[in-house]
Structures are given as structure tokens and as C-alpha cells.
Amino acid sequence: MSSLDADRLLQDKTLNDDSYVAAVKQLNDLGIAGLMTLEAIEFQTLEIEAVLASCQQLQTCYAEIAKGLPTQLHTCFKNSAISVEQLAALVSLIESAPTASWTLREDSFNCYEMDFRLAELQQQLAILKPLNKKLAPFVNTNTLESTNTLRSIQCCLDNAGMFRWFSAKWRDAKQQALKLAAHEQLKLEDIQLLFPAMIKYVNSQERFDALFLQVPVLAACHEGLNTDVTPLLAVREWYKDIDFVMAEYFFGEKGLLAGLSVIDKQSADDLVVEYHTNLLSLINNLDKKMNKLGLSFVAHETLQQSDADYALVAIELKSILLDALSVLKESGVDANTCLSELIKAPDFNKK
């Protein structure tokens, strides 16, 4: 044999040794249990195929559902651990959405100023209702003048002297006061005693009405003393829940809020039904398979990432396994050999 041929054989052996060591290292770096044989490792490729089939099945369902939903919500329909959590959170928000939210979805509910407005509405109602109960038997609260007019009438009546009958201003104030009476039997003295309460009532009424003018979306809910603040409070709390979910699962992205602001109720209800009747079982099945892979390949970093695409991870993992196993087979390693034996081998350790 010539020196050139000898050099080539030595080079080929070195290359083979390097490939062998690299293949063992690849398997070892995945965190595969040392007692697992090459045959058992190869069997894992079937598990990976099952994952890919489940990914395809779920993605097909996702694609069909996403057609009827706002594009801002499509991030929830991916094959990844974080998307599973996002979809569950989205469905939970839809299920917890108060009835009023479907007509009151508006950015003004997504700010803390609304908390103060709603608290003020409650406070003014707490003033108006008992005052109305007190005043209604004596005066018509629906036709009361402005606070300035009431104060002017009160001032004129309170400051009139003994010759008040000769004052045209007093007579006019008296006439205006009596017009406020709920019935003709009431005397001026009876009405005059109620002016402080009437002024307080009108002042609260003006503040109450002004709150609705500040936020146009609230105008439709204005029903005077019969205004029900409870649905408004429920919508505000729902928006707080959305903020929490965005921070917890969407990393502050505004897509969820934008999507929930435009999705129609029928599409939302359909998503909830589809999630519980079909998607959830497919998701759980895929999660179990991915968790199983995670236990078999504990050191594979991509497999542990919550935002990693399940299908891409499975394809990458399958490629690594098949390449490494192919090299070891070509090197003549028996299929019943445990990975730990290969790691302990001199050819591996000397590298």
C-alpha cells in the first residue's frame, strides 16, 4: 500500500470517528436516559410522527375557526404552549363577558377614569333617590329650575320684609315657588322649607347628568333615577380582566383587546362551543404527547420553550435522531446498545 493510500484510510477513519462521536454527543445532548437503547430511541421517532399528525389535525381545525374571527385573535391559534394558554384565556374572557359588554365595548371602559366616573354615578344616585322620595309628595322634581334660579327664589323669599306684598319681585318669587308645588293645597311656607333640599337635589342631578355627557357610550344607559350602574361596573371589571390576561399571556400586546372589541357575539359564542366540544380534546391530546417527548428529551432546549412551534420542534428533533442513528448504524453499533455504553466508550471520551 502506498503512503498516499494509507493517509486516505487514516483520514477516512478519523472522519468516521468524528461522525461517530458527534452522533453520540447529539443524542446525549438531548438528555436521553442512558439506559435507553438505540432501538428504543428510534421508536421515539414514531412518537414524533404522532405529534406531527396531531399538529396537522389541530391546525386544520384552527384554520377553519380563524376564518370567522378578527385577525387580531389569530395569535391564539398556533401550535405552541403559550398559544394554548392564550386560547384558553380568550375563551374564558368570552364566557365571563357580561351581557352589557356586547353593546358597551368601548375604549373608555379600559381606563381608570371610568372607575371614578362610575363611583360618582353611584354617589349621586345615593343622594338623589332619598331626596326624591322626600320631595316627590310636595314638589314635582322633574320640573325643578336650575340651582341658580332656585337660590334666587329662596333668597328673595327669605329676605322679604313685612312689606313684601308691595314688592313685585317678592310676588314673582312667590308665584314661581307655588308653581313647584305638587298640589294646590300646599302653602308657600311648606314649599319654602324645601328649598335647601331642592337645591341639593338639582345640584346632584346636574352632576349626575354631566357624567353621562363626558362619555357618549354611557348616554344610552341614562335612565334617570332608574339608572342601573351594576352592568356598567361589570363591564369595567371585565376590561380589567382583559388587561390582566394581556399582561399574563400576551406580554402586553394589544391584539387581544382589539379583537375582543370587534368580534361579534355569534362568532364569540361559536368559538366557545367549538372549543369545548372539539378543540379542547385535541389540544389536551397534543399536550400529552408533547409532555411525553419533553420527558424523553429533557435537555432539548427548544422543546422546553413555551413559544416554540410544536410542529417545527418535532421536525427538528426527528431530524437530529435520524441523522445520529444513521451514523451509528453505519458505524456498526448494535441496536440493543444502550446510550450509556456509547458514552463510556473510549472513542467518545478521548474526544
Confidence of residue 160 (pLDDT cuts 50, 70, 90): low
Q: Please tell me the predicted confidence (pLDDT) of residue 165.
A: 54
Give one DSSP letter per residue of 112-136, joined into a string.
THHHHHHHHHHHHHHHHHHHHHHHT
Percentage of the chain exceeding pLDDT 90: 63
Digit-coded pLDDT (tens) for 173-226? 778 888 888 888 888 888 888 889 999 999 999 999 999 998 888 988 999 999
Return contacts of 315-323, CB within 8 angstroms, 24+ apart: 315/52, 317/30, 317/48, 317/293, 318/45, 318/48, 318/49, 318/52, 320/26, 320/30, 321/27, 321/41, 321/42, 321/44, 321/45, 321/48, 322/45, 323/23, 323/26
The C-alpha angle 315, 317, 321, rounded to 5 degrees, equals 115
Residue 324 has pLDDT above 70, yes or no: yes
Read off the C-alpha cell for 55: 399538529
| Three-class SS state of 37 | strand
pTM: 0.83
Digit-coded pLDDT (tens) for 116-158? 999 999 999 999 999 999 999 999 888 888 888 888 877 877 7
Nearest partner of 151 among 116, 86, 198, 210, judged by Cα: 198
Q: Please tell me the predicted confidence (pLDDT) of residue 162.
A: 55
| Three-class SS state of 313 | helix
Q: What is the mean pLDDT of residues 257-264?
A: 93
- Tell me the residue length of the chain: 351
**8 Å CB contact between 206 and 188:** no
Dihedral (C-alpha) 283, 287, 288, 292: value to the nearest 10 degrees? 160
Domain boundaries, the chain: 18-99+263-349, 109-237
What are the strands, taking DSSP E only, across the chain? none
| Three-class SS state of 92 | helix
Distance, CA of 32 to chain centre: 38
Alpha carbons 195 and 208: distance in angstroms, whole number: 19
Read off the C-alpha cell for 283: 389540544
**Integer-rounded Cα radius of gyration of the chain:** 38
